[in-house]
Amino acid sequence: MIWRRTNPEQTEAAIRAALGRMEDLQAKRLSLGELQAQLMEERAFIARILAGLRIGIPWVEAGELLKTHCLRPFELSSMYLARTDWDSGLLHFPYFFEAGRPRERASRALNERPGLTGRVVALGSPLYLDSKEACMAEGMVLTEAELTTGLMNQTWFGIPLDGPEGRIAGVMAFQSFHSEAFPPHRRLMMEAVAGITALHLGSG
């Protein structure tokens, strides 16, 4: 089963919309030459990710692809994909990259321990938190590595992944050890990546 079927026209429309928002923001602060160079770089970045995606791509494979392309450009400490199972009410974590390697992250009930991921599912819109204090206030569920080392992420950005029939299929989340790590333009890039990925994800 595939969450959402897509076609080249849908994919192109999603890319155009995302890049259009980024162009508007960039035009306010860059010269024409700088803007052109930046836009070419961004289009190439999106194209590299798109080249690795396919309809029905497994979540684990998509996560590894995104880690490869996004970890350094976005200066991430960790990132993950969460999948909502509406039948069981569970939140699964098919791909969770933290502390330099993929890790296992136990599933949990959305109505018992929603955490930041569950907040995004409930809101149906992106959630950006730019400090450790803000993350904790919103109900962050700490990972085993964070509890063991005491080293916590300072910035968290979660983006809903659209599924069929208007339901949220899951969440793509990016994290950094630095506070205020993701300025508006970077968040727009992240949203573009999430939107394009959601069009291609399989059911599990």
In single-letter form, the type of residue at position 136 comes to M
pLDDT bracket for residue 7 (50, 70, 90): low
User: 143-161, pLDDT tens digit by residue?
Assistant: 888 878 878 899 999 999 9
Q: Which pairs with CB-CB distance under 8 Å and at least 24 residues apart come from 45-52?
A: 45/69, 45/73, 45/189, 46/15, 46/18, 46/19, 46/192, 46/193, 46/196, 49/193, 49/196, 49/197, 50/11, 50/15, 50/196
Helical residues (DSSP H) of the chain, grouped into ranges? 8-27, 32-52, 59-70, 115-123, 132-137, 144-149, 184-198
pLDDT bracket for residue 99 (50, 70, 90): confident
**pTM for this entry:** 0.81
Q: Which two tokens stand for residue 67?
A: 């880690």
The secondary structure of residue 2, as a DSSP letter, is B
pLDDT bracket for residue 70 (50, 70, 90): very high
Instruction: Break the chain into its structural domains and give their ranges.
Output: 8-198
CATH number of 8-198: 3.30.450.40
